[in-house]
């Protein structure tokens, strides 16, 4: 309880709804990451930019930690509040405030659900490319804060590539209005900063024309390593996949146990590839892809549009389907160069065998992302500990392969403890300075992402 804070947020102009009942607050203590929770002091259900600005100013005055919350689909515990925090929920800010078909531009509030926006654009003949698999629940504000990617990321870019402007409430500098072309440095700091520098109140986005044609192939291989070696061949061949997804045998099994989707259950490693563009271009690339898959020895399947849609739906549901193998999981999302996908996969599977943990691995292979998910039964404490013990091992495997700690989920609270494995001390100090420049009192989502600890002296 923080009576002074609660009294102040209840007096905010425009009287946004404020939740303080412990029974209601329970739901705000979690995001989609299992094994992490916090207990907030209160939740402000912001409906306007002014609510966000005023709630943030109140938190700063009170010295209370605060964090923005969108769809709460974070898989790095970045939306799990520190105990006693003020949560500023942006889900009621879900208006599309501008849409210019001719210039292919849109302006939205942060709580707009990603798929709703994609559908809205598609109904007007336009394509919003960033497509996190959580798009049915995630928000554009959360996507900006995590720089979300998705299957389309390799060909069409991540959220950063679509953002042309932001409005952001910050604790130190007030409300910033930023435009691509003039404020790129600050925009690019805010994107991916996991709500630790400010709260996004408006996003301007660039859209594209919808691709007119597509083709989809499924290719199964005897094991995950051989499938991932073929990913490297595809990427080196000059083919530009719109989507290139990898699923290992455990992932395929979990999907088939959740619903009979029709995936080849005997696949040791499965690739789903989509090509899109103009008709001639798609035909040409499909012929080249078919030849490559045939020579690589994959069991190949041409997937008709209806089955393709079902399979992409299944792909988006992998996280939930893994519960068919074990009830809980902790997920990683390292990103490595193509040539390192197969050896990194093998190293992680070996570590999983050594630790006696079932690890399912899948990912947007075209951009080098692998999601090793350590599965466990939460009632079995030893198995849970063994699963969590693999987190640093997976992080190190990614770094040793020349990769990075996170392909798309961000560092949040799950991978923050590994940040000093990835960067040298001067870089970590530069990060601390950036954080301090925006948030001198460290009230914005403290504990997520940034290096902790004191500055080190460097010449
Ligand atoms: C099934 C599933 C599939 C997923 N697939 C993908 C995928 O393919 N690609 C991918 O990139 N991610 C994926 N994710 C992770 C997650 O969906 C993304 O990180 C997403 O962008 C989070 O959006 P959200 O609205 O749910 O944000 P939240 O989970 O609510 O918040 C995430 C972070 O953003 C901050 N935040 C939220 N709103 C704002 C705001 N307005 N201003 C400032 N900060 C804010 C929060 O404080 C927190 O730090 C997946 C998650 C699930 C559960």
Q: Is 90 helix (H, G, I), strand (E, B) or coil?
A: coil
Report how far residue 325's alpha carbon sits from residue 459's, in angstroms, rounded to the nearest whole number: 53
79 in ligand 1 pocket by Cβ < 6 Å?
yes
pLDDT at 459: 47
**Is 457 a residue whose pLDDT tops 60?**
no
**How many domains, in total, are found in the chain?**
4
**Is 219 a residue whose pLDDT tops 80?**
yes
71 in ligand 1 pocket by Cβ < 6 Å?
yes
Q: Among residues 89, 111, 143, which one ends one of the domains?
A: 89
135 in ligand 1 pocket by Cβ < 6 Å?
no
pLDDT at 452: 86
Interval 325-364: pLDDT, tens: 999 999 999 999 999 999 999 999 999 999 999 999 999 9
Q: Which atom of ligand 1 is nearest to the CA of 149?
A: 11
Mean pLDDT of 73-84: 97
85 in ligand 1 pocket by Cβ < 6 Å?
no
Cα dihedral 334, 340, 342, 348, rounded to 10, equals -50
Provide DSSP, 176-193: EEEETTTSHHHHHHHTTS
Residues 114 and 201 in one domain: yes
**Domain contains 448:** no
**Domain contains 452:** no
Report how far residue 231's alpha carbon sits from residue 233's, in angstroms, rounded to the nearest whole number: 5
Residue nearest to atom 14 of ligand 1 (CA): 134
Residues 7 and 81 in one domain: yes
Pairing state between β 86-89 and 42-45: parallel
Report how far residue 300's alpha carbon sits from residue 134's, in angstroms, rounded to the nearest whole number: 28
Pairing state between β 66-69 and 86-89: parallel
Q: What is the domain range of residue 101?
A: 96-209
pLDDT at 269: 97
- Ligand 1 centroid distance, CA of 73 (Å): 5
Q: Which atom of ligand 1 is nearest to the CA of 198?
A: 43
Residues 348 and 404 in one domain: yes
Q: What pTM value is reported for the model?
A: 0.97
Looking up residue 280, the CATH number of its domain turns out to be 3.30.70.3450
**Domain contains 103:** yes
Residues 298 and 250 in one domain: yes
Report how far residue 63's alpha carbon sits from residue 289's, in angstroms, rounded to the nearest whole number: 57
**Domain contains 450:** no
Q: Among residues 269, 284, 315, which one ends one of the domains?
A: 315
Residues 137 and 223 in one domain: no
**Is 300 a residue whose pLDDT tops 80?**
no
Q: Which atom of ligand 1 is nearest to the CA of 148?
A: 11
Interval 115-145: pLDDT, tens: 999 999 999 999 999 999 999 999 999 999 9
Mean pLDDT of 289-296: 93
**Residue 406, beta-bridge partner list:** 333
With cut-offs at 50, 70 and 90, classify the pLDDT of residue 297. Answer: confident
Give the contacts of 7 (CB within 8 A, at least 6 positions apart).
none
How far is Cα of residue 247 from the mean position of the Cα atoms in its chain? Answer: 18
Mean pLDDT of 188-197: 98
Contact 49, 201 (CB under 8 A): yes
| Residue to mutate (ligand 1; options 68, 113, 151, 404; most atoms within 8 A of CB) | 68
């Amino acid at each position: 309880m923080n009576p002074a804070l609660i009294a102040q947020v209840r007096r905010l102009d425009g009287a946004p709804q404020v939740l303080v009942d412990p029974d209601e607050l329970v739901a705000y203590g979690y995001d989609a990451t299992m094994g992490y929770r916090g207990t907030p002091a209160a939740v402000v259900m912001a409906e306007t930019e002014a609510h966000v600005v005023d709630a943030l100013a109140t938190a700063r005055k009170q010295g209370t930690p605060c964090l923005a919350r969108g769809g709460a689909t974070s898989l790095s515990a970045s939306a799990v509040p520190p105990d006693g925090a003020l949560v500023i929920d942006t889900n009621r800010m879900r208006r599309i405030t501008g849409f210019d078909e001719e210039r292919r531009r849109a302006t939205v509030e942060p709580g707009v659900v990603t798929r709703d926006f994609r559908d809205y654009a598609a109904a007007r003949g336009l394509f919003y490319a960033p497509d996190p698999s959580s798009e049915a629940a995630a928000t554009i504000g959360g996507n900006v804060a995590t720089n979300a990617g998705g299957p389309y990321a390799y060909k069409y870019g991540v959220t950063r590539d679509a953002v042309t402007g932001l409005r952001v409430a910050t604790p130190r500098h007030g409300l910033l209005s930023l435009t691509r072309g003039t404020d790129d440095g600050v925009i690019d700091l805010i994107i991916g900063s996991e709500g630790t520098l400010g709260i996004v109140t408006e996003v301007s986005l660039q859209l594209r024309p919808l691709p007119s044609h597509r083709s989809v192939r499924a290719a199964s291989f005897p094991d995950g390593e051989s499938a991932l070696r073929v990913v490297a061949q595809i990427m080196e061949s000059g083919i530009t996949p719109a989507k290139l997804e990898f699923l290992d045998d455990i992932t395929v099994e979990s999907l088939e146990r959740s619903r009979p989707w029709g995936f080849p259950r005997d696949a040791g490693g499965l690739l789903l590839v989509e090509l899109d563009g103009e008709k001639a271009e798609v035909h040409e690339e499909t012929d080249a892809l078919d030849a490559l898959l045939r020579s690589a020895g994959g069991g190949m399947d041409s997937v008709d549009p209806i089955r393709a849609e079902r399979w992409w739906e299944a792909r988006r549901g992998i996280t939930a389907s893994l519960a068919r193998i074990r009830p809980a999981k902790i997920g990683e999302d390292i990103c490595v160069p193509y040539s390192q996908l197969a050896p990194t996969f093998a190293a992680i599977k070996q570590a999983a065998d050594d630790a006696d943990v079932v690890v399912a691995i899948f990912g947007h292979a075209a951009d080098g992302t692998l999601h090793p998910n350590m599965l466990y039964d939460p009632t079995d404490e030893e198995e849970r500990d063994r699963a969590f013990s693999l987190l640093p091992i997976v992080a190190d495997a990614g770094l040793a392969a020349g990769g990075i700690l996170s392909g798309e989920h961000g560092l949040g609270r799950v991978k923050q403890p590994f940040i000093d494995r990835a960067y040298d001390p001067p870089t970590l100090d530069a990060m601390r300075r950036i954080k301090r420049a925006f948030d001198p009192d460290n009230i914005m989502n403290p504990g997520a992402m940034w290096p902790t600890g004191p500055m080190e002296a460097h010449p």
